[in-house]
Amino acid sequence: DAGITQSPRYKITETGRQVTLMCHQTWSHSYMFWYRQDLGHGLRLIYYSAAADITDKGEVPDGYVVSRSKTENFPLTLESATRSQTSVYFCASSPSHEQYFGPGTRLTVT
C-alpha cells in the first residue's frame, strides 16, 4: 500500500535536456497536482488534473507539459530544462478536499 510515489527522487540534468518526472497513486483519486517548491515562494501549482484526459494550467505552467492517460499516473515533462527549473517537485492527489503529497523529486539543472 504505497499511496503516492514519485520517481526519480533525485535528478541532475543539463540545460536543454528533456526530463520526465513520474507520479503514481494507488488510491484512484480523481484529482492530481504538480507543484514546485522554492525558497521564499512556497508551493506553486504547475498543472493539475481533475480526471483522466482532463488537465489544466496552474500558476507557473511555462516550460512544462503534462498528460494523464490513466487515473493513477500523472507524469510531468520539462521539454527543454532551464536552470530556473531547479527545484523540488511535489505531486499530490486528492479525493475531494485535502491533498496527499508524494515524497518529492529534487531536480537540479546544470
Q: Which residues bind to another protein, rule: CB under 8 A?
A: 33, 35, 40-45, 48, 56, 58-59, 90, 97-104
Per the listing, cell 482532463 goes with: 54
C-alpha grid cell, residue 99: 491533498
Closest to another protein by CB, 12 vs 16, is: 12
Q: Which amino acid is at 4?
A: I
Closest to another protein by CB, 33 vs 78, is: 33
CB of 86 within 8 A of CB of 33? no
Closest to another protein by CB, 12 vs 54, is: 54
Tell me the closest approach of the beta carbon of residue 16 to another protein, in angstroms.
29
Tell me the closest approach of the beta carbon of residue 19 to another protein, in angstroms.
20
Separation between Cα atoms, residue 11 and residue 96, nearest integer Å = 31
Q: Which amino acid is at 34?
A: W
